[in-house]
Structures are given as structure tokens and as C-alpha cells.
């Protein structure tokens, strides 16, 4: 009897894998479904590596779509060949019936599936590039609107200049300065540089 496995990938921990799980669980026992929650930019993923170690000749691997496997054009091609040619595993891509290595093992079938794989791999990587571009454009647009990223900047106390002057005269210690300013020592020195730069302008 053929041993079947499933592989699921979502790009981040807050993404939901239910759609892929629903598609696979009628075909694969839950213990044989491997899930990674990280980018598809490469194949350095713990669960994928564990799955590959498990796969043996004539095993069957199900994935929902080619971008679940990855989003790097050349690496998808390399992994597909490694799994199907070197390990002798069959792969079924549920969203693309032409990518079912159990069928069409003759020259024409292999030729057609290779073409489809190349096209879908290209689309997967292209979408990854588009996502990065959309993110960069979104960040640039938000910055142009005045949206600040990162932790909010700690406000300087109204009497910051007086605190600095007292510290510079040796009247208070650095520990007293950071207590009065309610900030870390590193933040104090950074804000002090900014404060002095503004005073020089």
C-alpha cells in the first residue's frame, strides 16, 4: 500500500493553514502532514526537512498548490527533480491536476508536467516579488503620511536642558539623570546628541 504524506506552508505564524488542511486531511492521515509557518523564499524549513528525510521511493506527497512548496523559481525546480527523480516520490498538486506525477510517465506526459511546473514556479516567485514590492510601496506611502514605525519615541522632560546642565557641572550622577528622564542610559546619550545638534542649529 502506498504511504502518503502531505505538506503545508503558510508565510507567517498569524496565517491560517485550515484551507490547506481541509484539502489534505481526507487524503493523508494527520500524523503524516507536515506544516511550516515561514517564508517560501528557500527550503531551509524544519518540517520540510523532516518530511524529506521520511520520504521513500514510491511514497506519495500531496500539496495544495505549488506556492505551498516554495516561492523560489530555481529551488522549486531543483526540489521537484530531487524528490521525483532521486528519491522516486510521486507528487500531486491538488490545485493543478496536470502536476500529478503518477500519470503520464511517458515522454509526452513528463514534457507537459515539466512545462506546467516551470510556469507555476515562475508565477510563485513573481508573486513573491510582487508582495515585497507592495510591502515596500505601502511602507513608503505610510511614511509619506507621517506614520512612524518602531517603538514610539520617549518624550524629553520639559527641564531636560537643566538636567543636562546639572549633570555636566557634576551636581548629579548619570544614574540620577536617567532616573529623572525615565529612560535608559543608551537612550539618554542618543537624545543628548540630538538635543545638542538642535541647539547648534
Q: Kindly list the catalytic residues.
A: 11
Residues 6+ positions from 19 with CB-CB distance below 8 Å? 64
Residues 6+ positions from 49 with CB-CB distance below 8 Å? 43
Strand, helix or coil for residue 90: strand
Residues 6+ positions from 124 with CB-CB distance below 8 Å? 40, 66, 67, 69, 70, 71, 73, 76
71 touches 129 (CB < 8 A): no
Report the relative pairing of strands 90-93 and 4-10 from DSSP bridges: unpaired
- Nearest-10 crossing angle of helices 160-168, 185-200: 100
Dist. CA 155–CA 176, nearest whole Å: 17
Rg (CA), the chain: 28
Amino acid at each position: 500500500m502506498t504511504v502518503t504524506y502531505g505538506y503545508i506552508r503558510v508565510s507567517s505564524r498569524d496565517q491560517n493553514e485550515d484551507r490547506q488542511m481541509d484539502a489534505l486531511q481526507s487524503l493523508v492521515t494527520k500524523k503524516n502532514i507536515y506544516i511550516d509557518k515561514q517564508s517560501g523564499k528557500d527550503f531551509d524549513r524544519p518540517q520540510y526537512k523532516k518530511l524529506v528525510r521520511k520520504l521513500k521511493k514510491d511514497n506519495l506527497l500531496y500539496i495544495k498548490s505549488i506556492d505551498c512548496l516554495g516561492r523560489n523559481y530555481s529551488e522549486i525546480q531543483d526540489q521537484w527533480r530531487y524528490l521525483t527523480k532521486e528519491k522516486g516520490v510521486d507528487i500531486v498538486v491538488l490545485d493543478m491536476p496536470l502536476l500529478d506525477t503518477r500519470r503520464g510517465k511517458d515522454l509526452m506526459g513528463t514534457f507537459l508536467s515539466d512545462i506546467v511546473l516551470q510556469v507555476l514556479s515562475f508565477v510563485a516567485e513573481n508573486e513573491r516579488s510582487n508582495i515585497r514590492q507592495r510591502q515596500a510601496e505601502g511602507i513608503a506611502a505610510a511614511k509619506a503620511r507621517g506614520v512612524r514605525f518602531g517603538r514610539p519615541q520617549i518624550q524629553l522632560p520639559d527641564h531636560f536642558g537643566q538636567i543636562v546642565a546639572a549633570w555636566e557641572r557634576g551636581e548629579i550622577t548619570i544614574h540620577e539623570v536617567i532616573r529623572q528622564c525615565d529612560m535608559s542610559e543608551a537612550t539618554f546619550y542618543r537624545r543628548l546628541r540630538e538635543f545638542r545638534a538642535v541647539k547648534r542649529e
